[in-house]
Chain A
């Protein structure tokens, strides 16, 4: 048996071509729209019911489906809201800060030069999602640029990280309920003071409180508390608690 294609059936050829093209295009699925699972599969993060697919191809087929496209509309709207919200807040924060930075453009450039000169990301054993964020901080002023997946299961791409900020699965939640998405937003906020440009006392204090809140959030989360739909802390049924521990411990700041 040969693997050579017999005959010149044009329709089959076209079908194959199409499949090949769709295979190639599959790699263009934005990282935030799919999730790599521990068993090597992919979940679609656009659809709210999070369907799981064995391979990239099937994910691509799903992405062409009607239901997904409907979800995508909703998703895009949400994303748009989120972006606008973020922009709004940045603007607010910017106005609040007055002109603490005499030359914002200059410092921005300086920062970019610094980033460009780094040969690799300085080693940090912490969570990588956060790390990429840190480097990306500089240019995420306007909107979130879309990062394409180069390879389905690519690991932390260190050298690209500076140039291409990664937005990873960031749930579309307004910033006031930061607690809902732990590390991602935590790092996002934290990076602002690494910038060194906004060193206002009040904002620093605010950041410290915020950080403490986040730390508290993580502490509660890791000690087995979960938030229910109403946003109240309830005990995770899989975790154990001391018998007198009915309420989650209060944050030190509150």
Chain B
């Protein structure tokens, strides 16, 4: 079996975020890392929308990311620390829309190792040096400079190693233009290591160490080291030189401390805490991330606590001596991994879990009523300040980036009866968790819907002048009339536009700079800017059947298949070409390309005829109306659209948008098929046709603008958008009802939208999330969803949600009550009344946990609930809160053979689980009877078990339940579940049970799979085979009777299969003396599974399922990862024969009849060439990355193969030549394999 990996949706969890001017213009951009992906975002300061400019998969783990700017430079570089054992400096090239690797310096072995640098990066704020550090011992400093041609140069590394030292954080200290200095949080463990008594551990202190790079002597010295009182978790560099006092802020548990060289005394301020917080008061509070904002006149820091509260930190200084730290509560947002304050007044928050946000900073927190806390305020040791949380005051949410991370589990099923299955995902953590329903399609935001007096046929938008940013009119054509609406504050009908209103319209648009043209059945109306109207009337009894119009040209087809061509001359006059052309069959559709910038005309006209052909006709004055090429079609064409796509997003150095894309002729057929053909811009030849079935209705095509590029809206029974995004063609359905006609639309409120008609309504729509494969509908959940099952009769979901470190609602209410009582009791006699009022106010206040987080109850405190959810409506039908400290771990819905047709829900619950050191007070299996409508749960009984019930699976009318490492068969009893049979020989802890026939496949948490056979006549569960490799299985899926696919927590997916001669008829030892020595080889089973495929995905996969994603598609193995990625592994249908070295005609026919036969061979070679020609960006070897834990076997990386499309054309050609194909053929194959299985 050979598999091909396709990523459907890339990871969305952000591990690092930095900001800077990466394109070298004034615009601020954000670079984020998603683990193995680097992405460049640009927040639009006008609309507040975040646009993704570029996404690159680096096939390595990004461990640190820093923006770097040379002294006096205007452009930021990206410094990346990865697991490649190399430091990489990237430069963003806006003209190519790509990252260029300008330096790659090797310093160590690859992999995330203790002493190989890569974990920490720090740059000198003045842009002279960069330090890259490891977790232990090694630190290297590189001096960066520029050469005569202003190119960035990098020195050889200078060592700043110190053995036996652990590093917690590194920053570059801003010392102005003195020697660059780096501050490290370190801990020296040498003494501890050598102390046999173990007393030294208690006395070891963390130190703050400064390393100075002596630029004169060209070496690094350990300048100064100072032990710290509190254990710090990170450092913030304070602006220095002329901008501020320099030094660092040390964030530690409960305190933030300012430190600097010289006479500067330490300034320490406690971290304020929430007033009346339900959290465990003994828990310390730490800052988890920070952002610095610096202007010429001031600077401040925003620091976020682990509860999500942001504080604005300012320093008060007196003659370069800091005297005070001031903290002021700013706002509360989701807990972030990184925050970026942009110069344009935005705050980008990369959330730890769930969606990411872009806020506008509306106020700088200067509000007087908000109390300010200062280090100068006298406070006793251990005491702290308190503040009151409140809804957002300083921040305004402007954009939200969807993130599925973490995907806890996913099931694919068509529960909504929509033909295409939906992906049901349990996402998120704690109070920010949700159940999301994902459907393939672009999300459509409906801006306006208005009813029209009748059923319109068509709609266009028209600008008044070519320079205008927004459209002026919406023209709606009815059967016998045309309605003109003007776009302004409101949309209202106008009559002074010059358009003829008493006739239906065939087309209308802007002509030249400021004229308008209206084509109607009886003629053409040319409206000049000064409202002069020129009319061209059709001759005799002929009428205009079809027309095609662009900025300067008009072509019409008259009755009798006669083509008439008009072109605008420089004076703005519309002139008819002297000849007319008669076509051989009726004209069904026509299309003109837009006029290329700087040219007079578009050179090609595409005409679709009733004889199932499309012809390209030249409009060049040299051979005007001469046919250039023809393409036969499988069915009659319905619509044509020539667009320029691909590469238009590229921008040259001056910021001018270049158009490097080619022309594509899109042909919509009457049988619902869309063809996309490359139209040669010189000869007009048609080549490289791609086909896609869109729906049951004839396909109509409309040219629209998406992010400044041309795109095609194709309408069949469903609407699709064909667009080019990040060098890849996308054809995505719109998640919206059927539309009939559309045109692009721009107004102040909606700068880039679509106006469309659907029956008798006019709709204004916006498509904002280009590039997204799925649109999602989200339902809020209370705790982290762990697992869910689908009740097959009602299609309802039964979800178990469990959180550690959390309170149940009951405990929360109880604690609140208790706190209120304490409040009253603590008050003196005269304050009693006031205290009672305050307590009442406290009891009444409720802040949504979604934005303010749930209270942390302390370790060993669990809260869970069982919920029945209607996934389509998103409504909760029933929910059962379990008691405090009961944690639900497993769930199943099943019928018992001895209880008739009733459905039961079994929930495995553990009581008082402490994670480390692990201890359990016991567990229960709750048995609930599901009501007839599957909307209520009624508790039947509760069965005690000894350990964690990790997995439950129905089995032959009974149920298999794992209890710790025990596997048991239970039957339904009257008072409890009855244990009938047991196997005690699984190694550690059972995390999953899959059954097929009499076979049971057990996933162990650490020891991969065990194959167990249930022998009914002996009532025994017998292990007959296992795996040879230790895998820390997270999830497994059966592929067939002998084959199982499993994912592990290190991010690998493996397929293992029992050999053909496996015998599951083995018996348990009949002597019954299970002595220690009487086990198989190394305690394993005698028969071993074979490894079929191995692949390192790079992110821990939590769900695997065999599913068909598109109707009529083939089955694939779908996986979802913790970081929010969705991918599939697809099998090659066959593996055969090497491809012929020379292409012969007969061989081509053969290839057509067996298109998949050589796929595997082809892709394997492509992958090989890609590895050599296009090595990963951050220096990690692709093959070794995909073989991180186990050597990659029988899986081809589609992500790498698809980078073919983003390679330079020269390299594309050479790779394609090696494969004996053209680049177009290669990218067609890449597209084909994707569309065959997914989208």
Contact = CB atoms under 8 A, between A and B. Distances in A.
B980 A52 contact: no
Interface string B973-1006: 1110011111000000000000011100000000
Interface residues of B, number: 39
A37 B1060 CA distance: 18
A153 B1086 contact: yes
Given A39-B1079, A221-B1018, A239 B1065 contact: no
A38 B1086 contact: yes
Contacts of A39: 1069, 1078-1080, 1085-1086
Contact of A222 (B979, B1019, B1079): B1019
A175 interface: no
Interface stretch (A85-93, A101-109, A121-129, A189-197): A121-129
B1016 interface: yes
Nearest to A186: B1017
A189 to B, nearest CB: 14
B193 interface: no
Nearest to B1088: A40
B1019 A221 contact: yes
A155 interface: yes
B1023 interface: yes
A221 B981 CA distance: 10
B998 A40 contact: no
Nearest to A241: B978
Contact of A50 (B1041, B1066, B1071, B1087): B1071
Contacts of A222: 980-981, 1016-1017, 1019
Contact of A243 (B975, B1023, B1024, B1070): B975
A224 B1022 CA distance: 16
A240 B973 contact: yes
A156 B1024 CA distance: 14
A125 B1041 contact: yes
Interface string B1054-1072: 0000001111111111110
Mostly helix, strand, loop or mixed at chain B's interface? loop
Contacts of B1061: 153-155
Interface in A22-55: 35-41, 43, 49-52
B1068 A38 contact: yes
A62 B1062 CA distance: 26
A253 interface: no
Contact of A153 (B997, B1060, B1087): B1087
Contacts of A183: 1016-1017
A156 B1061 CA distance: 7
Interface in B10-56: none
Contacts of A224: 978, 980-981, 1019
Given A127-B998, A241-B978, A43 B1063 contact: no
Interface in A109-167: 125-129, 153-156
A244 interface: yes
Contacts of B1085: 38-40
Nearest to B978: A240
A37 B1067 contact: yes
B971 interface: yes
Contacts of B1080: 38-41
Given A155-B1063, A222-B1019, A241-B978, A40 B1071 contact: no
A218 B1016 contact: yes
Contacts of B1019: 221-224, 236, 239
A127 B997 CA distance: 9
A52 B1069 contact: yes
A43 B1067 contact: yes
A230 B1067 CA distance: 25
A252 interface: no
Interface in B1064-1112: 1064-1071, 1078-1081, 1085-1087
Nearest to A49: B1071
A224 B971 CA distance: 10
A183 B981 CA distance: 18
A242 interface: yes
Interface string B936-977: 000000000000000000000000000000000001011100
B860 to A, nearest CB: 31
Given A52-B1069, A153-B1087, A222-B1016, A38 B1022 contact: yes
Contacts of B980: 222-224, 239-240
A182 interface: yes
B1044 to A, nearest CB: 16
A250 to B, nearest CB: 15
B660 to A, nearest CB: 57
B970 to A, nearest CB: 9
B1063 A156 contact: yes
B998 A51 contact: no
A115 to B, nearest CB: 22
B1017 A218 contact: yes
A11 interface: no
Contacts of A52: 1069-1071, 1078
B984 to A, nearest CB: 11
Nearest to B1068: A38
Nearest to B1063: A155
A217 B1063 CA distance: 25
B975 A36 contact: no
B1081 A40 contact: yes
A2 interface: no
A217 to B, nearest CB: 8
Contacts of A239: 978-981, 1019
Interface in A182-240: 182-183, 217-218, 221-224, 236, 238-240
B997 A126 contact: yes
Contacts of B1069: 37-39, 41, 43, 52
Contacts of B971: 223
Nearest to A124: B997
Contacts of A218: 1016-1017
A50 B1069 CA distance: 9
Given A36-B1066, A155-B1060, A238-B982, A182 B1017 contact: yes
A123 to B, nearest CB: 9
B1070 A50 contact: yes
A243 B975 CA distance: 8
B1070 A221 contact: no
Nearest to B1061: A155
A35 B1016 contact: no
Given A221-B1017, A242-B973, A38 B978 contact: no
B1063 A182 contact: no
Contacts of B998: 125-127
A239 B1018 CA distance: 13
A221 B1065 contact: no
Nearest to A36: B1066
A179 to B, nearest CB: 10
Contacts of B974: 242-244
Contacts of B1071: 43, 49-52
Contacts of A217: 1017
B1068 A37 contact: yes
A106 B203 CA distance: 96
Interface in B336-381: none
**Which of A52, A127, A183 neighbours the largest number of chain B CB atoms within 10 Å of its CB?**
A127
Contacts of A51: 1071
A149 B372 CA distance: 87
B1065 A128 contact: yes
Contacts of A126: 997-998
5 contacts: A35-B1067, A38-B1067, A39-B1069, A43-B1070, A218-B1017
Given A222-B1017, A222-B1019, 12 more contacts: A36-B1086, A38-B1024, A40-B1087, A52-B1070, A125-B1041, A128-B1064, A153-B1063, A155-B1060, A182-B1017, A182-B1018, A217-B1017, A222-B1016
Q: Shortest 8 CB-CB distances between A and B: which pairs?
A: A40-B1086, A182-B1017, A39-B1080, A125-B997, A50-B1070, A155-B1063, A240-B978, A155-B1061
